[in-house]
A and B are shown apart, each in its own frame.
Chain A
Amino acid sequence: MTDEQAIAQPAQQSHGRATRDSSANASLRVLAVSIGPLIAALVVGAILLLAMGFNPVSYYSYVVQRAIFSPSGLEATLTRMGPLLLIAASLIVAFRAGIWNLGGDGQYLLAAVFVAATVPLTMNVLPVWANLLLGLLIGAVVGAIWGILPAILKAWQGINEIITTLMMSFLGVSLANVLVKLAFLDPATTTPQTRTLPVEARLPRLFDTATSSGLLIGLFAVIAVHLIMTRTSFGMRLRLVGANPRAAVHAGLSVPTLTVAVFAISAALAGLSGAVDILGTHGNVRADWNPAYTLTVVPLVFLARLNGFGSIAYVFLFSALTIGGESAARRIGVPSFFSLVIVAILLITLGLAEYLDKRHQERVRR
């Protein structure tokens, strides 16, 4: 399955192996529906830039140049992808099973804080690889723990998980700040932050580049999640629960158990994302730091129709936009928030394109 098909394939609805469009006409349409909105979004973005007095051509070419065609930029783009891909994997598991885990930010940040608090202390006792493994494990476990309460409330009390995960997220972000400021403070610095993991004790870099191997962890997680959801009996059970919980009960599945399992996996992946970000890039957590990845990745996985390979493509695009955007902020003066605007516009144009495509198909069939 190529990426292109993956993006175009409505993975949530189609089931198993979708029938493939063989005619050239159909693939052209698919191409138009997946590429058209991207172009439209960039054009709308260009108009916005013009309106604010910037030259869109020089902005876009600078972003592409910095994020993809310069070695250091590309390395930064790829490194940024690691945690984002793990968040994407976390969301794909949950959304495909029909569970709205919107609490990824809390799960991510708490995991990051616990990892940052532990690994600088254990690095003197453990070899580097064992210390990193411990860090990843802590991240996954802390993330999963923060997902337990919404899971229990959803599974046995039927309480809407959107409320509970959002609340646990706020709670988690505040708790993480409290921990950084009060419990895990680095005594050696005056700014409130945790101890710092030295660069040589962090995740190894790939080959001779500055790209963190967190990228590999992220890629592995997304592809594994994709294959599990589409090719295994476990994934099938989760999709059944997501599509029709009553049918799942009728088929003899334990919906509460599966719900808890989904939460555990999803939250653990979000926690792992925090661990990878600390172990690979940041080395510590400063007070009031919160990259708030989850809500930005939600649109990305939906743009990819919850398809793992499509998500990789969109995460790459977003990562490049933010890395390039951060450089552009320094050089051209366009704030890096612009990448948020592009993602939002892209989601809207894609939704419109899908709607128009559906209407077009209906009209053709008549």
Chain B
Amino acid sequence: MQAPIQAPAASVPAPSGAPVVALRGVTKRFPGVTASDNVTVEIRSGEVHVLLGENGAGKSTLVAMLAGLQQPDEGHIEIDGAPVAVTSPKQALAMGIGTVFQHSMLVPSLTVVDNFALGGVWWKRPDRAGIAGRIEETAKRLGLRVDPYALVSGLALGERQQVEILRALMRGSRCLILDEATAMLTPHEAVGLGELMRRLVAQGIAVIFITHKLNEAIAYGDRISVLRLGRNVGEIGPETLRSATDAENTERIIALMFGTSRAGEGSRGEHRTRVVGDSVLQVENLCSEAGRVPVRDVTFSVRSGEIFGIAGIDGNGQKELAEVLAGQAQSSAGSIRLMGREIGGTSVGDRRKSGLRYVTDDRLGEGTVGIFAVATNFLLKDIGAAPYWQRGIEHPEEIRRQADRHVQDFDIRTPGIQTPVGKLSGGNIQKVLLARELTGAAQAVIFAKPTYGLDVNNIRATRKRIGGAADAGKAVVLISTDLDELLELADRIAVIDRGSIRGIVENGEGARDAIGRLMSAGDDR
């Protein structure tokens, strides 16, 4: 077994233009789909190479092949111009390819040092002091602060990611893959990661940055390869990227991603034509100690046809507030009234019956049951309800009819209504949730990060649904960490910080600045 920690690769900046790693005509097939179709990509040292594409475009498959988790069916991987077979993660590491996955690959119950030491000669003692020294040294070189003896379970997601980048570098990675690295980060942390990527390439590392977010691709990338349906449909080199304006680059990328130019389709301002009616949902002095972040003294009201946005950095009590409103968590004080009726003490089921809906952001964890059929997932919140069940006995005909209707109305791409929902793509799973929550006698709908993790097409479709719900006279609470989304959709926007509402801003001229001020005013940490 090789020693787990090697000295960092000599940071001789290789001349830009010599590919460190290359995929040549790589094809990978899975049952029913060709995930990668004859893809050729060259990764050069000293460059941030963005692999951009929608969900299902084949980004993850490329990562998996580079990281040694999967092998290509056709084509090959080259390192320094020589064809190689990467058959295991261990081998990928040995060849200098380090991967930081979207979901943390650190063991939460171990310290940072012990995580770095994983894989050492089994009977030996990990050289904890030595590794800690090197961690601090490398961290300093990159301008990071890391406590080597901290337990990983106690670190924030952004910190864990930094630790993983450090680990990849200390193992001698010359090529660093960051898979959907910003998906789990706060906007602030994402900016920090962007800066870190610049420092990495300045030291001669080749960075592969996987994302589906256009603005990040343009902001951090030196070179952008656009993937679509498993194929590499085009590449934009550093010269073009630098010489053109962001708007032009966006235009060009969108053209590659969709085959046509779809920029400028934003629906900003359209919602103002809506008629806002009576107050539907009133929340007064709501408090809760049930979750990780206590909800403190939250007061707001939402009228029919109105979209009430809640902005804030992730993890500031948004999830907790949504769960208290939906009835999944206990409130300790305050009142929630729906159509004038107090619902604060009622169960999840009663609130749903009286017209309150909750579209969760944890689509696979709690929103659906992956092994259950699509048709069944439509009914998870209505088990026992007529006409799908009569006196407790299920009526398959009715269940099927409803499922067929939902699949058609919400444009859900599924092989069949009996397909396990876990086999669908993220966007289609979100459509299943939307179909379940937006139909029937909905009065007020809470959306928690509704476009999180979706691709451009599905983001568009979901936003349309949210606007549509308000157009239909429902009161909408839209919780989002994406300020642009809120500015596009919401009528009023509240800022939440550590479980409290800092203030509420009318959407319109100057709203962005006002929200920014509220967010930073609360930031006295």
Q: Which residues of A contact B (CB under 8 A)?
A: 13, 15-19, 231-234, 236-237, 240, 243-244, 246-247, 249-254, 362, 365-366
Contacts and interface: CB of A to CB of B under 8 A. Distances in A.
Interface string B335-377: 0000000000001110110000010101001111111110110
B366 A247 contact: yes
Interface residues of B, number: 37
Given A246-B365, A365-B31, A237 B394 contact: no
A16 B394 CA distance: 10
A252 B369 contact: no
Contacts of A251: 348, 380-381, 383
B4 interface: no
A275 B370 CA distance: 40
Contacts of B32: 365
Contact of B381 (A246, A252, A365): A252
A15 B32 CA distance: 22
Given A246-B366, A250-B366, 13 more contacts: A13-B420, A15-B373, A16-B375, A17-B396, A233-B384, A234-B392, A237-B383, A244-B370, A247-B367, A247-B368, A250-B358, A250-B380, A365-B32
A252 B349 contact: yes
B418 A244 contact: no
Contact of A19 (B365, B384, B416): B416
A247 B383 contact: no
Contacts of A19: 416, 418
Contacts of B375: 16
Interface of B: 29, 31-32, 327-328, 347-349, 351-352, 358, 360, 362, 365-373, 375-376, 380-381, 383-384, 389, 392-394, 396, 399, 416, 418, 420
Contact of A249 (B366, B370, B384, B394): B366
A243 B369 contact: yes
Given A18-B418, A19-B418, A232-B393, A243 B352 contact: no
Contact of A232 (B370, B394, B396): B394
Given A15-B420, A250-B360, A365-B32, A236 B394 contact: yes
A231 B393 contact: yes
B365 A15 contact: no
A66 to B, nearest CB: 43
Contacts, number: 88
Contacts of A232: 389, 392-394
B29 A366 contact: yes
A231 B392 CA distance: 8
A15 B403 CA distance: 14
A252 B347 contact: yes
A231 B390 CA distance: 11
A233 B380 CA distance: 10
Contacts of A15: 371-373, 376, 418, 420
Question: 4 smallest A-B Cβ distances: which pairs?
Answer: A252-B348, A233-B384, A252-B349, A365-B31
A249 B373 CA distance: 19
Contacts of B394: 231-233, 236
B368 A16 contact: no
19 contacts: A16-B373, A16-B399, A17-B396, A19-B418, A240-B369, A244-B365, A244-B370, A246-B362, A246-B365, A247-B365, A247-B367, A250-B360, A251-B381, A252-B327, A252-B349, A252-B351, A252-B352, A252-B381, A253-B383
Nearest to B358: A250
B93 to A, nearest CB: 28
Contacts of A246: 362, 365-366
A253 B348 CA distance: 8
Contacts of A254: 347
Query: Of residues B352, B368, B418, which shows the largest number of chain A Cβ atoms within 10 Å of its Cβ?
Result: B418
A87 to B, nearest CB: 26
A119 B118 CA distance: 64
A366 B31 contact: yes
Nearest to B377: A247
A97 to B, nearest CB: 13
B180 to A, nearest CB: 23
Nearest to B347: A252
Query: Of residues A233, A244, A252, which shows the largest number of chain B Cβ atoms within 10 Å of its Cβ?
Result: A252
A18 B371 CA distance: 12
Contact of A247 (B29, B380, B392, B416): B380
Contacts of A244: 365-366, 369-370
Nearest to A227: B393
Nearest to B418: A19
Contact of B371 (A13, A17, A366): A13
Nearest to B380: A251
Given A15-B371, A15-B376, A252-B327, A236 B383 contact: yes
Nearest to A245: B366
Contacts of B349: 252
A17 B418 contact: yes
Contacts of B384: 233-234, 236-237
B48 to A, nearest CB: 35
Nearest to B390: A233
Given A15-B376, A365-B32, A249 B383 contact: no
A252 B366 CA distance: 11
Given A236-B383, A252-B327, A252-B381, A247 B393 contact: no
B362 to A, nearest CB: 8
B261 to A, nearest CB: 38
A365 B372 CA distance: 23
A15 B421 CA distance: 11
Given A15-B373, A250-B367, A252-B349, A233 B389 contact: yes
B303 to A, nearest CB: 26
